[in-house]
Amino acid sequence: MSSTPHFSREIGEIAPLVLMPGDPRRAEHIARNRLDGAQLVSDVRGIGTWTGTLDGVPVTVTASGMGVPSMSIYATELFSRHGVRRICRVGTCGAFSPRVHVRDVVIASAAHTDSSVATVAVPGVTLSLAPTFDMLAAAVAQARRGSDRAVHVGSVFTSDYFYHPRTDITPELSKLGTLAVEMEAAGLYAAAARNNAEALAVLTVSDHILDHSADLTATERETMFEDALEIAVAALLARE
């Protein structure tokens, strides 16, 4: 397999299992602190990509950037051109459910979206974008074994807007049981579906949209996700 526009094959190999935060700094933090023998294998456009092992299994860590378009580019290239079978997004989200709080963990069992990624594939059909069952089941099992933070399983809203022009969307979604808003899960789930691959999003709540709870700092966003990371690792290594 050759290089693609956003990943170089000249330095090293990308593993079939990928942990994917949005932030390149968070990707580097995970690689250096969680992978054994982490080696930089690509750095196209400043997006560092590291491959090492987790529990003896080859794993790559790289970033998706922000938003569905960026996630779609990276996930599609990884799935279709680099032999990746499974991606677990480890990111942040903004809660709007009254039962979810800052620093809680959300496992995204579905991703509603205002992005065209849900409608462009099949004319006249809005896709139900969901994760892979084995990954979801492993993540839930890991969460139930014990976590220092509350863990919620349910739908999230993947928005095309960070600063959304409408203020009525999140209260209505909350009434339907949606837990939080973020910007990448639907893009990942759609890319996995198109490529017959596997995916899951595990998210740390960085702020609360409705009660305006204090945001995580930039430093906390890089480091305060250990519980979510352990859940994501369990999902990534499920049945390996």
pTM of full prediction above 0.95: no
**Active-site choice (207, 211, 215, 227):** 207
Question: pLDDT digits over 21-41, tens only?
Answer: 999 999 999 999 999 999 998
Question: pLDDT digits over 84-114, tens only?
Answer: 999 999 999 999 999 999 999 999 999 999 9
Active site residue 114: no
Q: 63 is written with which tokens? A: 């970033």
221 φ, ψ (degrees, to nearest 5): -60, -30
Mean pLDDT for all residues in the chain: 90
Contact of 84 with 49, CB cutoff 8 Å = no
**Domains in the chain with CATH codes:** 17-237 (3.40.50.1580)
Q: 166 is written with which tokens? A: 């409408």
Give the CB-side neighbour count of residue 83, counting CA atoms within 13 A.
11
Mean pLDDT on 52-66: 95
